[in-house]
Amino acid sequence: MTLDVGGRVVGWIGAVIGLGTLGLALLAMVRSLRRPSGRVEPGARIALRPSLLLLATLSFFAFGVWLWRPIPVQLEPALQVLSFAGGILLLSGGCSLYLWGLRSLGQMFAPSSGFGVRLNAGHRLIVSGPYARVRHPMYLAVMIAALGSMLLYRTWATLAFAVLMLGLVVRARREERVLAQEYGQEWREYAARVPAWLPRLRLEPPP
């Protein structure tokens, strides 16, 4: 198998993994928006309407298609192999972490946006699964997958995606402010025990 053929095969595998995860995420968002809402910030009330989510998704794909052009950087064969291998590992690892977080949240999963945060009715703080190790595993997963897609495909679209996903740090801070207001001491104890992004090397059993 030549390097080009191998790259295409790995690329198709990555596409199946990435698009499959995106499909499951969108399905979870639609289901979540059908549940009764609890606390909803004004911006989220507008931005998280199903029609706007559909429009945003279609715009995202159109933007990606328009920018799906290779970055003019030539890599040596050995570096290409490393790029393909690292890309598929990060992409599949990030998607796996995202799905683990999604499963751990269950019915507590609620989409948010840069315009505001939405919590479902009866929302409770989830501290199990990947949330026992980091406070934002799903956002971390998206950033890991974005980096993997950039290494795997090396297009302007994946580069833009990787850069844009760094904005999730700002969204995470906004969510933390809402959760601190909502859960008070319970959140403060959780935040003191669990790091935001990088798990501690010493694994302590969750309470």
Candidates 187, 171, 83, 102; CA nearest to 141 is 102
Q: How many residues does the chain have?
A: 207
Measured CA to CA, the distance from residue 28 to residue 24 in angstroms comes to 6
Helix residue ranges, H only, the chain:
3-34, 42-47, 50-66, 77-105, 137-153, 156-164, 168-183, 185-193
Query: Could you say which architecture CATH assigns to the domain 3-193?
Result: Up-down Bundle (1.20)
Candidates 171, 175, 165, 91; CA nearest to 126 is 175
Measured CA to CA, the distance from residue 29 to residue 6 in angstroms comes to 35
Answer whether residue 31 shows pLDDT above 60: yes
pLDDT confidence bin for 205, thresholds 50/70/90: low
Tell me what pLDDT residue 23 has: 92
Tell me what pLDDT residue 83 has: 94
Q: Residues of 13-41 as b/e, b for ≥16 C-beta within 10 angstroms?
A: ebeebbeebbeebeebbeebbeeebebbb
pLDDT confidence bin for 122, thresholds 50/70/90: confident
**Residue boundaries of the structural domains of the chain:** 3-193
pLDDT confidence bin for 116, thresholds 50/70/90: confident
Q: What are phi and psi of 112, to 5 degrees?
A: -130, 175
Tell me what pLDDT residue 89 has: 97
Tell me what pLDDT residue 206 has: 52
Measured CA to CA, the distance from residue 75 to residue 107 in angstroms comes to 45
Tell me what pLDDT residue 26 has: 87
Q: What is the pLDDT of residues 150-191, one digit of tens each?
A: 999 999 999 999 999 999 999 999 999 999 999 999 999 999
Phi-psi region at 2: left, alpha or beta (left = phi > 0; alpha = psi -120 to 50): beta
Q: What is the pTM of this model?
A: 0.91
